[in-house]
Homo-oligomer: A and B are copies of this chain.
Amino acid sequence: MSRTAPDLSELTAPPQSPVAAPTLALRRVAIDTWRENVAYLHRDCAVYRAEGFQALSKIEVHANGRHILATVNVVDDTAIVGCQELGLSEDAFTQLGVQDGHTASVSQAEPPASMAALFRKIEGERLDRADFHAIVQDIANHHYSKIELTAFVVACNRAELDREEVYFLTEAMVASGRQLDWHEPLVVDKHCIGGIPGNRTSMLVVPIVAAHGMLCPKTSSRAITSPAGTADTMAVLANVELPFAQLEKIVRDHRACLAWGGTADLSPADDVLISVERPLSIDSPGQMVASILSKKIAAGSTHLVLDIPIGPTAKVRSMPEAQRLRRLFEYVAGRMHITLDAVITDGRQPIGNGIGPVLEARDVMRVLENDPRAPIDLRQKALRLAGRLIECDPDVRGGDGFAIARDILDSGRALRRMNDIIAAQGARSFDPNDPQLGSLSFEVHATTPGVVASIDNYQIARVARLAGAPKVPGAGVDLIHKLGEAVSPGDLLYRVHAAYAADLEFARQTCARATGYTIGRPEEVPHVFVEF
């Protein structure tokens, strides 16, 4: 069965029409359509009637030497848009950079140039470098509709891009945005593939390696499906939304920053793709590798330590899977000339005690302050990852990194560096001895004696999100007992914090169905081989 050949009447770039494109007066319509450009045309507008635009058809709007694509919504109310006007949603209006009333010309939008390549990928064909560049460029320029974007994401997910295609995709994503150059031979970063609640090692690794003198301009994302991202947690301590010039100065002054990456225009196509991957819970190896490496390479990193947690409720569940993923990362990193050290870590349970921005910030600060209440697992993992990064320093002997990192942490140098970074970014009031948690809470207790035999990463994350994290920084889950610890009936397993009664209730009912903990015999605790 051959597929329907694309209807090229809709694909071929129509030749320049001999007739001049009609013009309308622009009007800002104060509707926030969130990243989707919408054009509002009155049903009696002469242009709408003559051009045969249909609701939801795409048009091209030219004004002020710029042009945007927009989806047509037809309006029957002159209070919203008049017959001689072209209304534009907030975002769309802003992109043109003009005043209300400025004239604009409109025409049927030509389909994105990469559409033929997209159709081939939908049919499972292999794409070449030029195809990926064309597609990613169209995506970054917001020329793809949600339908086209989704088709690309799902087609790439199912087709399992081969490793060279992942390289092409990564390269195209880097090229779609800004690329930083720090003019230093060694620019380090660390990244985790995600899926483990509480895993806030970046906020420890960054000050440690910066204190060692390494350049580590860390930009992070906010949580997408997790209860907290590094940016959400850092935002508890400091301002994370900084203009790029200020970010650069902080990095020059302190060898590091811990900022939100959204302002830097690094791999912008990635952000567009994530808007579709997220609601579909798609996280295929190829897309993960391209997403992570494109951001790091665009940020100017030369050396990357990659954390791949493995465990029964982690993203990666077996060692062969982890090795396959590691090899894919290594292949693409090699082609892109970034030095990658992939580390397979213990992902059987959350890292640290707190899950949610304020709780995680508390844990991080306790580790930095060498507080006896600091979670050991978070400290150990951060030291090992920092050690691996420090060994990228040509003056450090292999195997010495961990001790160097530990010395930096124990001596208080990491804390001082962190405080410098916080001050430079703009400190927020935070006391790790009195973190501002949501005022509502409930507790989950053990009902049988035994040891903690498993903690479900997903269920704990789910409870923390229902409780309000990350939108409510003080909401989340505080784990009291971790894997392998003995408990008796009535012992507190974890405490849930929320700011709103409805959130608390949702979280409570979810816990009532499944706490995420199983209590069992010591031999039931899963063992996983990990590198350290």
Contact = CB atoms under 8 A, between A and B. Distances in A.
A458 B321 contact: no
B154 A146 contact: no
Contacts of A526: none
A55 interface: yes
Contacts of A245: none
A508 B158 CA distance: 41
Given A32-B74, A317-B2, A279 B80 contact: no
Given A325-B1, A510-B12, A31 B280 contact: no
A77 interface: yes
B321 A1 contact: yes
Interface in A136-171: 145-151, 153-155, 157-159
A7 B145 contact: no
B31 A122 contact: no
Interface string A495-525: 0000001100110011000000000000000
Interface string A306-329: 000000010111000100110000
B122 A154 contact: yes
A527 interface: no
A19 B14 CA distance: 56
B506 A3 contact: no
- Most interface-central of A124, A281, A465 (chain B CB within 10 A): A281
A90 interface: yes
Contacts of A54: 34
Give how many copies assemble into the complex.
2
B501 A31 contact: no
A284 B146 contact: no
Contacts of A12: 462, 510
A17 interface: yes
A15 B509 contact: yes
B75 A7 contact: no
A462 B7 contact: yes
B55 A33 contact: yes
A283 interface: yes
28 contacts: A1-B285, A1-B316, A3-B281, A3-B282, A3-B283, A7-B461, A7-B465, A8-B462, A17-B502, A29-B80, A31-B77, A32-B73, A32-B75, A32-B76, A34-B73, A76-B90, A79-B79, A119-B280, A122-B157, A124-B158, A146-B146, A147-B280, A150-B154, A151-B154, A154-B154, A155-B158, A158-B158, A158-B159
